[in-house]
Amino acid sequence: MRFTKPSARKAATTSLVSPSSAADTEDEPVRWSDVAASRKSTHPDVAPFKRVLDIFELCEHVLEYVPPKELLGMKRVCRSMNGVITKSPTLQTKLFFRAVPASTPWVVDASHSLLAGAKAVDTIRERDITGIAVQSARAYAYNPFTLSMREHDREAGLIYRFLSYIRSGTVCYDYIYLEHHMKSKLHTISEVASCRSMFVSQPSATKVVVEFYGRCEFPPWEDRRGLPKWYRGCVSRPTITNDSGVIVGEVLDVIRRETRGGDASFQHLCFTEGFAVSMEQKVFVEETAAVTRDTDPWDKHFKAE
């Protein structure tokens, strides 16, 4: 292939077209293969795939199939992609930037089947009519970009964790931690970082409790001769309340305030209005509508027996 100077390239392209259309083709992209062969370019100005993605609805539909963490990174691809992700309510909800209303509580019936959606609504309605006891609770999908769940809780079955939450007196003991990258950069995260405006869960929780552990002294009346005089335990449990939904920035501000000085460390975050699940688990239950211990893919202990 013979390469030419820009001046020769312009002369070669203008000689292939009539003077009347020279002005229209001046801004068209010129390829070296066409210049070397002394022919008019047959390549389209815009690739067909680019034309498809220029349609907002089609681009939004394609991006709905992208995993959340990859979707967040695709905002850096180009301005057009960033505009679609930023303006789409569906994608903003997927990225936890947009709150969703509280969904129907999950229900466990007499046969220990976990119900959601319309089946849960019908079961609750029958309970109000017949008076048969039905256990219900709300599930919150924690934010996977900033939070993670304890491995022991992730391996436990959904029905087992649901019943444990009910029997514990509606106090959630699912330990939710900060992601490693968030914990390591806790004090260097910018005040304008996009992660601060994310909600901690979907649907958005209006109240969460943050536990901090530190040095606790034993009571003076205990005989601790030859034994340590202190132990590591819970030193504070501040509650964060926001009627519009608790966001990650509020949690980070509380952690920074409580850990200033190094006397206490962040332990975990608890939801007080329901129990925590992953987004994958929430989608599975709501799409299945009825889950038993046989069909629960997370019930590894049950299947190992």
What is the tens place of the pLDDT at every residue in 281-291? 888 888 888 88
Give per-residue burial for 48-65: e unless 16+ CB within 10 Å, then b: eeeeebeeeeebbeebee
Quote the pLDDT of residue 276: 86
Residues 55 and 155 placed together within one structural domain of the fold: no
Same domain, 77 and 210: no
Task: Transcribe the chain into DSSP letters.
Answer: -----HHHHHHHHHTTS-HHHHHHHTTS---HHHHHTT----S-SS-HHHHHHTSHHHHHHHHTTS-HHHHHHGGGS-HHHHHHHHH-HHHHHHTTSS-----PPEEE-TT--EE-THHHHHHHHHHHHH----EEE-EEEE-TTTEEE-HHHHHS-HHHHHHHHHHTTS-----EEE-HHHHHTGGG--TT-GGGGSBSEESPPSEEEEEEEEEEEPPTTS--TTS-SEEEEEEE--EEE-TT--BHHHHHHHHHHHTTTSSEEEEEEEESSSEEE-HHHHHHHHHHSEE-TTT-TT-HHHHH-
Is 6 inside any structural domain?
no
pTM passes above 0.85 = no
Residue 16 has a pLDDT of: 45
The answer to whether residues 67 and 178 belong to one domain is no
60 in the same domain as 124: no
Q: Are residues 81 and 186 in the same domain?
A: no
Is 59 a member of any domain? yes
Q: List, for the chain, all residue ranges whose pLDDT scores fall below the cut of 50.
A: 1-5, 8-10, 12-26, 302-305
Range of the domain at 66: 48-94
Domain match, 181 and 215 both: yes
Residues 170 and 300 in one domain: yes
Task: Say how many C-beta atoms besides its own lie within 10 A of residue 165's C-beta.
Answer: 21
What is the structure's pLDDT at 300? 64
Residue 122 belongs to a domain: yes
Query: Are residues 83 and 217 both part of a single domain?
Result: no
How many C-beta atoms surround the C-beta of residue 39 within 10 A? 12
Q: 118, 143 in Cβ contact below 8 A?
A: no
| Same-domain status, 69 and 171 | no
Q: Is 231 exposed, middle or buried (0-12, 13-18, 19+ CB in 10 A)?
A: exposed
Mark whether 223 and 290 lie in a shared domain: yes
Cβ pair 230, 216 in contact under 8 A? yes
pLDDT of residue 101: 80
pLDDT at residue 42 in the model? 60
pLDDT of 48 reads 66
Is 101 part of a structural domain of the chain? no
Same domain for 89 and 118, yes or no, is: no
- The backbone region for 120, taken as left when phi is positive above 0, alpha when psi lies in -120 to 50, beta otherwise, is alpha
Tally the domains of the chain: 2
Q: Are residues 209 and 298 in the same domain?
A: yes
Render pLDDT for 120-176 as a digit per residue (tens, 0 to 9).
778 777 766 665 666 788 888 999 888 888 776 666 788 888 877 877 765 556 678
